[in-house]
Structure 1
Amino acid sequence: MYTQTSFENTAEIYSLLENIKNEYENDIKNVLIKTSPNIYKNPHMIPKLKKIHVNRGLGLAAQNSNFLKKSIEEFTIITGQKPIITRSKKAIAGFKIRTDMELGLTVTLRGKKMYDFFTKLLFFTFAQIRDFRGLSVRSFDKAGNYTLGLKEQLIFPEIEYENIEQIQGLSINLVIGASTPKSHSNTLDRILNGMVLFKFLKFPLNDCGNYEKFSTLSEVNQLWDKKKHLRRKRWSQEETK
């Protein structure tokens, strides 16, 4: 039964869905330009959420038309957009895969649907994960984009337990865009841009705070170089054993 509190919470949720893009455009961009004028000299250099890819591999189960139809309906409910069926580019006899065989689903979200899905991740989906302690910064790739995997679809609020025939996960790739000069276009700068953006958007990076004690970018670079050296040393020791 709905109460006054539940209606207020619902109204607040819809307000969040509407305001997250406005918060970025009107507040976050201005704060970054004022606080870091040497790094972000113009609005085009400020990191932004460009698009979100949502993918699911179905494997040979995609050959079952009923299963594929059910997965497409589920993906449409979760993302708000009908997915594209991904197909194999070549045949692999060892995995019983033929050319142009249906193997998975993918969706690319932009604009309002992208922000709605991102807000749902922040305020609904992560809260449903048991013993959730945040996400690691190590999931950034060399281009500065962030990829995470979810083990089941039940953590999305639109999915009802009674309608689930099989537990399936999905992967989410958050593509971050920024027009950076060549002097600030290396891997570390791209990752730091993503960390700055996620910190303002309240994205739950659990080890992002480790770098707050460093006052300059050079100190962070020294830390990363030290970690790389230790990894190489450990690998060389393992090879000699």
Structure 2
Amino acid sequence: MSQITESPMKKISLEKVVLNMGVGKSGDVITIARKALDQISGKKSSARNAKETQRDWGVRKGEPIGAAVTVRGKDAIELAKRLFEAKGHKVNGKSFDNFGNYSFGIKEHIDIPGVKYDPQIGILGLGISITLTRPGYGVRTRSKHKARVGKKHVIKNQEAKDYLVKEFGVTIT
């Protein structure tokens, strides 16, 4: 009897978790958002600048309007578990794309386990993007001889859902 084994190059893993808070204006609110992200992730967050001027909203190009932090490795896995716990281990099936990414939002950051209410910060919402990867995906981002990932190697929508169900025990609605 021959046993069908999956190629080690097909193994899916968690690449990164990106937390983002779009505040819409610069000043003290950026500092508060960065403090909240630092508290959630345990990493140092950075301010994100406006890419273009929006006169109707009073936003100038280059002005800080948000904060974000990227978490990788074992810390990302632990953070993803806490974030899924905050959502009740339920994920929306429509929030997956066809390249191994899953995005969702949390309305109150104090819902995340391990985060306590701080009157100086208040209650803020945030957006979360989880990126999955396979060995060989580095060809897209390397500095020399960038290349596309082949069609058969791209993480499909259903594969990403199966990975999250298996690794994090979430249910897809």
Q: Which interval holds the TM-score relative to the shorter structure?
A: 0.7 to 0.9
Is 1:85 the equivalent of 2:51?
A: no
- Pair 112,185 (structure 1): closer, same or farther in 2 beyond 3 Å: closer
**Greater relative contact order (Cα < 8 A, sep 6+):** 2
Task: Look up the match of 1:231.
Answer: none
**What displacement does 1:111 show?**
1.1
Give 2:30's aligned residue.
68
Alignment correspondent of 2:161: 195
- Choose between structure 1 and 2: higher helix proportion: 1
Which of 83, 89, 105 is 1:149 aligned to?
Answer: 105
- Specify the code of the residue in structure 2 equivalent to 1:205: T
Q: 1:75 to 1:103 in 2, by over 3 A?
A: same
Q: Which runs of 5+ in 1 are unaligned?
A: 1-33, 208-241
Q: Counterpart amino acid of 2:157?
A: I
Classify the secondary structure of the residue corresponding to 2:91: coil
- Alignment of 1:59 onto 2:24: yes
1:182: Cα distance to partner?
3.6
| Residue in structure 2 matched with residue 125 of structure 1 by the alignment | 86
Q: Deviations over 1:80-109 (max 9, x none)?
A: 111110001221212211121010011111
Deviation at 1:173, TM superposition (A): 0.6
Counterpart for residue 135 of structure 1: 91
Give the alignment of 1:41-56 within 5 angstroms. Answer: 42-56=7-21
Matches of 2:164 and 2:72 in 1, distance apart? 17
Per the alignment, in what secondary structure is the counterpart of residue 40 of structure 2? helix
> SS at 1:89's partner residue?
coil
Structure with a larger share of its residues in strand: 2
* Offset from partner CA, 1:213-236 (integer Å, 9 cap, x none): xxxxxxxxxxxxxxxxxxxxxxxx
Q: Give % identity.
A: 21
Runs of 4+ in 1 over 4 A off after TM superposition: none
Confirm or deny: 8 A CA contact 1:140 1:191 kept in the other structure: yes
Q: Which amino acid letter does the alignment assign opposite residue 194 of structure 1?
A: A
Provide the rounded CA distance (Å) in 2 between the counterparts of 1:137 and 1:162.
33
Aligned-residue CA RMSD (Å): 2.5
SS at match of 1:184: coil
> What TM-score do you get using the length of structure 2 for normalisation?
0.79
Indicate the residue corresponding to 1:113 in structure 2: 75
Q: Larger Rg: 1 or 2?
A: 1
> Residues 36, 85 of structure 1: CA spacing in aligned structure 2 closer, same or farther, 3 A cutoff?
farther
Question: Shift of residue 143 of structure 1?
Answer: 1.3
TM-score (norm 1): 0.59
Letter in 1 for 2:21: R
* 1:189-210 deviation line (CA, Å, top 9, x unaligned): 6112212211211342334xxx
Separation in structure 1 between the aligned mates of residue 24 and residue 3 of structure 2, nearest angstrom: 48
Gapped runs of 5+ residues in structure 2? 137-148
Q: Which amino acid letter does the alignment assign opposite residue 202 of structure 1?
A: F
